[in-house]
Amino acid sequence: MSHVLPWYVTGPLIGLVVPLLLFFVGKPFGLSSNLRHLCAACLPSRGVDFLRYDWRGESWNLFMMAGIAVGGFLSVTALGHDVSTALPSWATTGPGMIVLALAGVLVGFGTRYAAGCTSGHAIMGVATLQWPSMVAMLCFFAAGVATRFLLMPHLTLWLEGAS
Amino acid sequence: MIRNLSALVIGTVFGAVLTVGDVANWTTMQAMFAFEEAYMFLVLTSAIATAALAVVVIRRFSLRTVDGTAIVLPTKTFTKGTVIGSLIFGIGWAIGGACPGPIFALAGAGLAPALILFGGALAGTYLYARLHSVLPH
């Protein structure tokens, strides 16, 4: 697969988010927290201690999240980037949508249980030499690689057959 | 307000880099987890190296934020969730082909299935929140 941007442009630009956030916002990089903030802001939190905190104090991150969505929007509209491979071919089939929803549940549940995702652990945590983040990143990849080799061939075959 | 605006601008550039750089891309993630191309490994390694270098400079010169407060770097604590949660996330990441950042970018790009991933991720987070007190940590 060919890419518009070379790795030495994409990678450093992603890494620069860390000092930019620290300088201009005074906060560490970490995006999955936004899912918690959205739950705390929008869903019933009565009796759920994990959702009873000052999420408004973290609203900068919700602005960051909104910005990412704007960036995605501009990439397609203003920059004309081709996103035809951005989601699997089965994403719009009935069974495919159920699989995507379940994948999302695993992402949301897993990142909160792990207290971080690719941004908070693999980039922010590893760049600051935090060993729990290194363990987290190894686990992300161990599970991802195992899933890719053991599950995805069967899942893809089944989903493409079902469409 | 300025902080929120800064975050919005940084997020916008970041979202565009994720999208145009094909990081917010299921096909790229499949190729990464199958070791079919070096691209994502080089992207991640150079991203971490760039961030690490910046952090070294920040520490070395005790740099402060734009409004003059000290920069505090977070300490990550290890729990059972660091392993169990990370493994669960890795499975979801490989199936859906997107971690949280790319999910936001793809939803913004107007891809309807990304909204399903987003909804699922919110549901998963809410499920964790409700089970938080009974899960091993």
The per-residue pLDDT for A162 is: 65
Q: What is the pLDDT of residues A26-56, one digit of tens each?
A: 999 999 999 999 999 999 999 999 999 999 9
Best residue in B27, B28, B76 for a mutation probing chain A (most A CBs within 10 Å): B76
> The whole model's pTM is what?
0.97
In the block, which residue shows the tokens 């450093």?
A12
The per-residue pLDDT for A78 is: 98
The per-residue pLDDT for A1 is: 80
Q: What is the pLDDT of residues B83-134, one digit of tens each?
A: 999 999 999 999 999 999 999 999 999 999 999 999 999 999 999 999 999 9
Which residues are registered as beta bridge partners of B70?
B64
Query: Does A61 reach chain B within 8 Å, measured CB to CB?
Result: yes
* Inter-residue contact B99 to B93 (CB < 8 Å): yes
Cα–Cα distance between B15 and A34 in angstroms, integer? 15
Q: What is the pLDDT of residues A90-113, one digit of tens each?
A: 999 999 999 999 999 999 999 999
In the block, which residue shows the tokens 């201009």?
A24
Q: What is the mean pLDDT of chain A?
A: 97
Q: What are the backbone angles phi and psi of residue A54, rounded to the nearest 5°?
A: -80, 80
Contacts of B131 (CB under 8 A, 6+ apart): none
Residue A163 reports pLDDT greater than 60: no
Q: Does the beta-carbon distance from B98 to A25 stay under 8 Å?
A: no
Interface of A with B in 67-86 (CB under 8 A): 67-76, 79, 81, 83, 85-86
Cα–Cα distance between B39 and B23 in angstroms, integer? 10
Per-residue confidence band for B62, with pLDDT thresholds at 50, 70 and 90:
very high
The CA-atom distances, in angstroms, between B113 and each of A64, A90, A132, B28, B130 are 22, 10, 32, 17, 26
Which residues on chain B are in Cβ contact (under 8 Å) with A72? 15-16, 18-19, 24, 104-109
Q: What is the pLDDT of residues B12-51, one digit of tens each?
A: 999 999 999 999 999 999 999 999 999 999 999 999 999 9
Nearest to A126 by CA among A135, A5, A55: A135
Per-residue confidence band for A76, with pLDDT thresholds at 50, 70 and 90:
very high
The per-residue pLDDT for B1 is: 86
- CA torsion through residues A136, A137, A143, A144, sign: positive
The beta-carbon neighbor of B48 closest among A13, A117, A123 is A123
Amino acid identity of A26? G
- Buried b / exposed e along A111-149 (16+ C-beta atoms within 10 A): bbbbbbbbbbbbbbbbbbebebbbbbbebbbebbbebbe
The per-residue pLDDT for B65 is: 96
The beta-carbon neighbor of B109 closest among A10, A72, A114 is A72
* Inter-residue contact A155 to A99 (CB < 8 Å): yes
* CA R_g for chain A: 18
